[in-house]
Structure 1
Amino acid sequence: MPLPVYLHGRSVRLEPLAERHIEALTTAAAEDRSSFAFTPVPHGTEATARYVADALAAQEAGRALPFATVRTADGAVVGSTRFCELDYWQGPVVWPPVPRGPVGDAASAVPDAAEIGATWLSARAQGTGINAEAKLLMLRHAFETWGVRRVSMRADARNVRSRAAIERLGAVLDGVHRAHSRGLDGQVRGTAFYSILDEEWPAVRIALERRTGVVRSVVEPVWPLISA
């Protein structure tokens, strides 16, 4: 499964999510929550502790790689994001295709496709460029370190703000699954699915680097977590 890493940018640092982030995430999520209508964001210390525990369980199972989003200017934790829906295409062809874990040594395996999701930022961090740079760091890692063929993103079809943010990244709308699931408000929602393919990544990268002013990022392996 993919190993935890730190992803360093100019205005944001993505740290492997850990229990030590619970208090700071609780504070970040407690700011103006009016923009969270379509986004699952924990509220209160107990809910945040469950949120982190669930994310770490998904990581342990090889299904996700969660991060705490940290503003570099002051070291404040301002939200969270993760790689999820990790999919491995090695081994015999299975039909119909279904997401599956790695074949062989799970510790050294990397996914062939991934999704970026569970992204949220505190009210004061929204609109500051942190989201765009964080996505650039994650997309670089997925395409240039893992060598994935596709990175997907999704949003409640009613979430105009999130969909616009995804589209500004250069992702292509694959379609809307109508009546796909229940939304946070209990109503049946459609889900808009987006993707960026490996052959599209060079152009997307150039546009994002120009937009964010970031031309190089640093990837720092988390050796203590790997050996733990």
Structure 2
Amino acid sequence: MPVPVFLHGRTVRLEPLGEHHIEGLAAAAAEDRSSYAFTPVPHGPEATARYVAEALAARAAGRALPFATVRIADGLVMGSTRFCELDYWQGPVQWPPAPRGPLGDPLTAIPDAVEIGGTWLSAHAQGTGINTETKLLMLRHAFETWGVRRVSLRADSRNARSRAAIERLGAVLEGVHRAHTRGLDGMVRGTAFYSILDEEWPGVRAGLEHRVEHRAEHRAGAGHHHAPERTRPLVSA
């Protein structure tokens, strides 16, 4: 299981999720919950404490690597995201194929494939470029530090905004699993699956870096006083 890491960008820092983030996460999630229809986002301090405890348990079990999304300028917690569905391909070929844990020391093992999920942002952080930079940091770590072959993302098939945001990253739609599971509203939902492969990463990276640079230039030109766009709320599950 990869050890927790800090990932630093221009305007955002991803910190290993911890109990000290509970208050900030609860405040972020309480701003405006109208964009959270398709993704589990905790509501209130008690629910946020459970959310963090479950994420830490998943990390301890080697199933996830959760982060708090933090604005560098003032240390404000703006949401959360994580690596999950870590898959290891070393060792004898396994049939039928299925995700499996690492061989050898789990503390030094690195995955061959991983998923990015559980992403949500506070209302005021949505549409500001934070998600783009967050994904750039995570994809760069997955492909360039771990050397994974594949990064997956998924979304409720009904979540048009989240799917469009994933596609803007440069991810390829693999298909929709129809009647795949139950959604937060209790309805049976389809799930849209996307992926980015290691050979696609250079092109995806160039596009993301261009978007992050363009956003930085726009902020500098506006003197940081422009109102953020509110047209692209970002959540995925």
5+ residue gaps, structure 1: 215-228
Deviation at 1:105, TM superposition (A): 1.1
Matches within 5 A, 1:85-124: 85-124=85-124
In 1, Cα distance between the equivalents of 2:198 and 2:59?
24
Alignment identity in percent? 81
What is the aligned length? 214
Equivalent in the alignment of 2:157: 157
Deviation at 1:148, TM superposition (A): 0.2
In 2, Cα distance between the equivalents of 1:42 and 1:123?
14
Equivalent in the alignment of 2:33: 33
Equivalent in the alignment of 2:188: 188
Q: Which amino acid aligns with 1:18?
A: G
Equivalent in the alignment of 1:42: 42
Q: What TM-score do the two structures reach when normalised by structure 1? A: 0.93
Render the CA deviation track for 1:169-221: whole Å, top value 9, x for unaligned: 0000000000000000000000000000000000000110011119xxxxxxx
Which consecutive aligned stretches of 4+ in structure 1 deviate over 4 angstroms post-superposition? none
Equivalent in the alignment of 2:232: none
In 2, Cα distance between the equivalents of 1:68 and 1:16?
6
In 1, Cα distance between the equivalents of 2:76 and 2:5?
19
Matches within 5 A, 1:54-203: 54-203=54-203
5+ residue gaps, structure 2: 215-237
Q: What TM-score do the two structures reach when normalised by structure 2? A: 0.89
Q: Which amino acid aligns with 1:88?
A: Y
Render the CA deviation track for 1:69-93: whole Å, top value 9, x for unaligned: 0011221000000000000001111
Q: Which amino acid aligns with 2:37?
A: A
Deviation at 1:137, TM superposition (A): 0.1
In 1, Cα distance between the equivalents of 2:48 and 2:126?
20
In 2, Cα distance between the equivalents of 1:75 and 1:23?
13
Deviation at 1:107, TM superposition (A): 1.1
Task: Name the SS of the counterpart of 1:199 in structure 2.
Answer: helix
Equivalent in the alignment of 1:226: none
In 2, Cα distance between the equivalents of 1:32 and 1:66?
23
